[in-house]
Structure 1
Amino acid sequence: MSAQHSVETIEETLHEEKVSMLKQPIAVWATAIAAVFAFMGIGLVDPILPAIASNLKASPSEVSLLFTSYFLVTAIAMLITGWVSSRIGGKKTLLIGLALIVVFASLSGISNTVGELVGFRAGWGLGNALFVATALAVIVGVASGGTATAIILYEAALGLGISLGPLLGALLGGWQWRAPFFGTATAMAVAFIACLVLLPKMAPPAVKTRLRDPLLALGHKGLRFTAGSALFYNFGFFTILAFTPFILGMDAYGIGAVFFGWGVCLAITSVFVAPVLQRRFGTTQVVSATLVLLALVLIAIGFAAGHSVPLVVILVIFSGALLGINNTLYTELAMGVSDAPRPVASAGYNFVRWMGGALAPFIAAQLGEHFGEQVPFFVAAVAIVIGIAVVVLGRKHLAGVASEH
């Protein structure tokens, strides 16, 4: 009887979570939809990387700087997002971020050299940082159903945006490589209007965030271990995203289709699979297991590179499922492990983890150019193994968060 009661309790809890997931204030949906458009910018350039290299007469490593400049500025800007939003309010910070993305996405579309394009992507990264960091804080603060529900909504927006980005990039980029940039600018302009109209006025918090607060938050061992592991995890993530298009030998439509499938798997597992695995096995156990699988997938892609494009495609799409699980769980660890305010902890965490996204594309392209297209994936697998080691070494500092789920 007790077992039946337990099952009924679990079913009631799951039903309540589903209800709370869907029953959200309009501000949450407006922010989440805008986040979808913002995250589309990450994978947007993926299908057109070879076309950009060809049209602007640039090498893969030069084109990879489109990711590096974007994520380097995003990472550094994370340190100022809390300082800004705590003084002018969340809504104004979101709108400034969206406006910057509109401006720099448009400028990217009229670039005539790869240097110009890299510079404008850096400006795009600043807008992305202001928007993304504040969007997570707004969703967590306003959503009904608690932090876990808010994070799943945020990761759903991330997954949907990442999956739609390559699709939009392919559909527009197959026509003209500049078109995806103007398409993104248009989408972000719509998001700007939606947030301007639908978001309520948000007063700045009573306590102002200092510029050094995100770095001080990293003094917490749990957050430091989470961010350190996420840095190496993101190195593997963006090796797949940024370097694989150069070894597929496909046009924009083909690359877009592959990464659309990759993004769909990422979105599904981040929302539906991660919470189930987390409840059953615990956060750190699932993170460690999926990292092991991801390292094996990267090794397999390395061996398949240059020999079997169909196998590379299958492995890349499957990797999306693993990445979706870990995206959600890393974010939950970062939000729950630290005693710092969530926006501050998020800023410190994102400063470290996005460095992995900044380093991986350029390093992978350099390794591919000088040592062969298999090597970047083997190096990425080593980075994932280091990420596993960091989780294992810091497990006692992460145990509190893991036991809550």
Structure 2
Amino acid sequence: MSSLDNAQSASLLKQPRAVWAVAFACIIAFMGLGLVDPILPAIAKKLDASASEVSLLFTSYNAVMAVMMLITGVITSRLGMKKTLLAGIMIIALFSALGGLSNNIWVLIGLRGGWGLGNALFVATSLTAIVSLSNSGVAKAIILYEAAVGLGISVGPLLGGELGAISWRGPFFGVACLMVVAFVGLTVLMPSPKPQAAAVRKKSSLLDPFRALKHRSLLVFGIMACFYNFGFFTIMAYAPLVLGHMGMDEHGLGYVFLGWGILLAITSVFMAPVLQRKFGTIKSLSFMLVLFALTLAAMSIWTTKEWVLIAAVIFAGALLGNNNTLLTTAVMNAAPVERSTASAAYSFLRFIGGAIAPYMSGKLAEWYNPHVPFAVGAGFVILGMLVVLINKKHVMHVDQAEGH
């Protein structure tokens, strides 16, 4: 048994060069997401913006991503994975650099939308690329992808806090520089497709993601992810503003979200596969969603207690790491459609929640009090869990697919 375990663990690391090239680019790209988080209070102060206006930096980003996810398959099927990844990286670099030069919150909100365009091309294609090019199976490929995402997210806030302490513009320029590094790395390390492979590449249709959502299982996971993202982006977009209002600076926020990202990375790689093997995806997902909802509920009760919020944010990283890996693996096995199409359809629904939640959180705090956004986020997470449990008979097949 031990020799079998060693072979299984080794297979995760024995990947083609192209897989490592994309994983490296994922680390750099998701560092960009974490870089911006610690400077949200500073942006609000420097640009004289309200909490709901600052939250629109996430809303515009996620709204554009949601829509663009529907056409990433069309673009990738015509340009190929490598060119699509490089195009996404170039767009992120351009709009992040322009963001660092802006002096108006509404201009910055618009530029974040452009950033979301680049991220849509990169995120959807990178997951498909790693799963398609990997030689260790879907489950292990997704673990590798989530490990790259977690590593990038964990390091990003620390670097963002350091750069943000110098100027709120620093992280934006930092993202642009990191994207240049990712562009060079991907260009050098990822081989171009062979001419004959490009010639026979199947062209995707704009209707493919909508056709994919006719499969009940994929639709259920997409709706669940939409509600789950209400909680996720309450942590990402609203919690930093609350902590910043309490006096926490860029350094402090950077360290808090460093802890969040480290736990996210560790659990996505080491804990999620264990839960999946022992209890199955559906039971594990449901349990993690309940714990996440309880964490948000605790934050809504003790919103004025700084240490509670810090501990809750960091602990939430462990729950989100498990959820991300379990959910992504389930989606890849949910419906008999191409993985790129399944990813596009699922991501469209997922990022709708990510677009609404940040702005809604800011507005709820303005209309009522700082406690309400966390309570509403918890309610949406529970609603997501109920969607899965009500449709359990339509999604249970993912456990058999993963076991096989």
- 1:83 and 2:74 equivalent? yes
Query: C-alpha offsets along residues 89-111 of structure 1, whole Å, 9 cap, x if unaligned?
Result: 11110111010011001001001
Cα pair 1:43 1:241 within 8 Å, conserved = no
Moved more, 48-57 or 194-203: 194-203
Match of 1:26 among 5, 17, 29: 17
Which of 280, 283, 294 is the aligned partner of 1:282? 280
1:231 to 2:226 alignment: yes
Compared with structure 1, are the counterparts of its residues 370 and 330 closer, same or farther at alpha carbon in structure 2 (3 Å cutoff)? same
Give the match for residue 351 of structure 2: 354
Do the aligned partners of 1:104 and 1:120 also contact (CA within 8 Å) in 2?
yes
Match for residue 300 of structure 1 among 290, 298, 301: 298
**DSSP-derived class of the 1:377 partner:** helix
1:301-321 CA-to-partner distances (Å, cap 9, x unmatched) read 111101x11111111111110
| Residue 49 of structure 1, CA deviation | 0.5
Aligned-residue offset at 1:43:
2.4
RMSD: 1.0
Quote how far apart the aligned CAs of 1:216 are.
Answer: 1.0
Matched, 1:117 2:108: yes
Aligned to 1:192: 183
8 Å Cα contact 1:17-1:149 kept in structure 2: no
1:241 CA displacement = 1.1
Structure 1 residues 8-60: Cα deviation after superposition (integer angstroms, max 9, x where no partner):
2xx44432221011111111111111111111222222110010011001001
Is the partner of 1:45 in helix, strand or coil? helix
Q: TM-score, normalised by structure 1?
A: 0.96
TM-score (norm 2): 0.96
Match of 2:396, SS state, is helix
- From 293, 296, 312, give the equivalent of 2:309: 312
Q: In the alignment, does 2:220 pair up with 1:214?
A: no
Q: Contact 1:302 / 1:378 at 8 angstroms: preserved in 2?
A: yes
1:260 paired with 2:258, answer yes
Give the aligned length.
395
The residue that corresponds to 2:7 in the other structure is: 16
Query: In the aligned structure 2, how far is the partner of 1:13 from the partner of 1:247?
Result: 48
**How far is 1:157 from its partner?**
1.1
- Name the % identity: 53
Q: Distance in 1 between matches of 2:314 and 2:274?
A: 21
Q: 1-side partners of 2:151 and 2:299: how far apart?
A: 24
Are positions 1:43 and 2:43 aligned together?
no
Q: Matched residues in 1 for 2:109 and 2:325: separation?
A: 29
Read off the aligned partner of 1:263 and give its amino acid letter.
G
List, as ranges, runs of 4+ consecutive aligned residues in structure 1 with deviation greater than 3 Å: none
SS of equivalent to 2:202: coil
One-letter amino acid matched to 2:173: F
Q: How many Å separate the matches in 1 of 2:155 and 2:213? A: 33
Give the gaps of 5 or more residues in structure 2: none
AA of the residue aligned to 1:316: V
Instruction: Quote the Cα distance in structure 2 between the aligned partners of 1:162 and 1:398.
Output: 29
* Structure-2 separation of matches of 1:304 and 1:359: 24
Cα deviation digits, residues 263-292 of structure 1 (max 9, x gap): 111110001000001100000000000101
Map 1:387-402 onto structure 2 (within 5 A).
387-402=384-399
Q: What are the superposed Cα offsets for residues 41-88 of structure 1, whole Å, 9 maximum, x if unpaired? A: 222221100100110010011011110111111111011110001011
Equivalent residue for 2:62? 71
**1:152-210: CA deviations, max 9, x gaps?**
01111111111122112101001111010111100100100111111111244532110
Do 1:159 and 1:324's aligned partners in 2 also have CA atoms closer than 8 Å?
yes
Give yes or no for contact 1:295–1:381 (8 Å, CA) kept in 2. yes
